[in-house]
Amino acid sequence: MAQSFKALNGTVEVYACCDTLQVKDYSKYNMASFSEEHKRAVRQKQFPKDLEKAFEMGAKLGGAK
């Protein structure tokens, strides 16, 4: 996908957001390989940073200073 966008615009920026909280209620799904407590802790700590980075990238792409 990045190559397609690069052909249109010339530059591509990617921000990987990993170890995310996949669902609101893990008890409704068979997701035993994931720790809900870990996912919630990572979200609480990391998500505000990811959101800020995404906002900065959007502002940059939109031409804001």
The full set of domain ranges for the chain reads 2-61
Question: Does the predicted TM-score (pTM) go above 0.95?
Answer: no
Cα–Cα distance, 8 to 54 (Å, whole number): 21
Our measurement of the distance from residue 1's CA atom to the centroid of its chain's CA atoms, rounded to an integer in Å, reads: 17
Question: Token pair for residue 13?
Answer: 């920026």
- Give the pLDDT score at 7: 79
**H-type helices in the chain, by residue range?**
2-9, 36-61
Yes or no: say if 44 and 36 are a contact pair by the CB < 8 Å rule.
no
Q: For 4-8, 11-15, 16-20, 37-41, which range has the lowest pLDDT when averaged over its residues?
A: 4-8
